Amino acid sequence: MAPSDDRGTQPGGQNRSGGRLSGKRVLILGAGSVGEGIGNGRAMAVLFAREGAQVACVDLHLAAAEETTALIAKEGGQAFALSGDVTQESEIARIVEATLSAFGGIDILVNNVGGSVPGGPEELTPEAWHRQFHHNLHYVHLSTRAVLPLMKKQGGGAIVNLSSIAAMRNIGNDLMAYAASKAGVTALSKMIAVRYAPHGIRCNVVVPGLMHTPLVEARLAGQRSGGDIAAIVAKRNAQPPMGRMGDAWDVAYAALYLASDEAKYVTGVEIVVDGGLTLKTP
């Protein structure tokens, strides 16, 4: 079953023309969801639209992106769906061009694509290692490289990248390449933040911990608990000091702050959204 969601499509969360992102043009890479429900990318897209933004929703699978835009349209927001493999430079160029054609500019870029393959130094093949970096880090360079000139010309912009607490602590999973590539996302973000601050471009990182998104039921249960959903949910809920996983909306609200003008003097920072898990992990 999909995780519960008491904020996902409720009438109280409808689009606001005077919201925190009113007039902003947003490109979200990874705006669909793995399985039914609300994943991090979908939550960010819906929330940003509620706050007045126009949102380009990109996912590898068009149907997933269209599900997100349907939720936004239902609430009166503005969005369109695109499919594309963001690890390919030509695809990034096409996506950016389509967004410019629709919105006339890009004020906010969100890099939310990623995935994990288990394995340590001996078990992980060089091919799998390179695939992880291609999937989790390489595309961040491609998308940022494509958008930075536009933001410079506009006089500013905001980039929000998604990392993971796996890049900060060993959280009990043998995810060497995932951890290393996500650490690369954080390092790259800080370099961008310093170099492009004079151009009014901010770059920040949201660092999720254990979140209860559809990914848990759709993929992780099969990978890590033999398909036993109840077991993996119980295990993950027991780890954070708060006694439960977070959800996609926790990630989305952190991203909203970093993307908004409320964070106009904030760049190169990491907002850790993990219920205190990293604080108790050696």
Q: Name the pLDDT band for 193 (thresholds 50, 70, 90).
A: very high
pLDDT for the residue numbered 155: 97
**pLDDT of 61 over the 50 cut:** yes
Active-site residue 178, yes or no? yes
C-alpha span between 62 and 84 (Å, rounded): 8
When pLDDT is averaged across residues 68-87 and rounded to a whole number, the result is: 98
Closest by CA position to 151, among listed 117, 107, 121, 191: 107
What value does the mean pLDDT take over residues 183-212? Answer: 97
Burial (CB count within 10 angstroms: exposed 0-12, middle 13-18, buried 19+), residue 229: middle
Identity of residue 171? I
Among the listed residues 222, 116, 224, 235, the one whose alpha carbon sits nearest the alpha carbon of residue 176: 116
Which comes out higher in pLDDT, residue 8 or 219? Answer: 219
Residue 64 has pLDDT above 70, yes or no: yes
CA dist., res. 249 & res. 252, Å (int): 5
Cβ-proximal residues to 22 (8 Å cutoff; 6+ apart), any chain: 16, 51, 52, 53
* Contacts of residue 238, Cβ cutoff 8 Å, sequence gap at least 6: none
Residue 4 reports pLDDT greater than 60: no
CATH number for region 20-211+247-272:
3.40.50.720
Q: What is the mean pLDDT of residues 163-185?
A: 90
Mean pLDDT, the chain, rounded, equals 91
| 8-state DSSP, 260 | S
pTM over 0.85: yes
Q: Where are the alpha helices (DSSP H) in the chain?
A: 40-50, 62-74, 89-103, 126-133, 139-154, 176-196, 214-215, 221-224, 229-238, 248-259, 277-280
pLDDT for residue 30 is more than 70: yes
From the list 178, 196, 253, 265, the catalytic residue is 178
For residue 18, how many other CB atoms are within 10 A of its CB? Answer: 8
Mean per-residue pLDDT for 145-173?
93
For residue 218, the SS3 value is helix
Distance of CA 14 to the CA centre of its chain: 21
Residue 19 C-alpha from the chain's centroid? 21
Domain extent listing, the chain: 20-211+247-272, 214-245
Query: At residue 11, what is the residue type?
Result: P
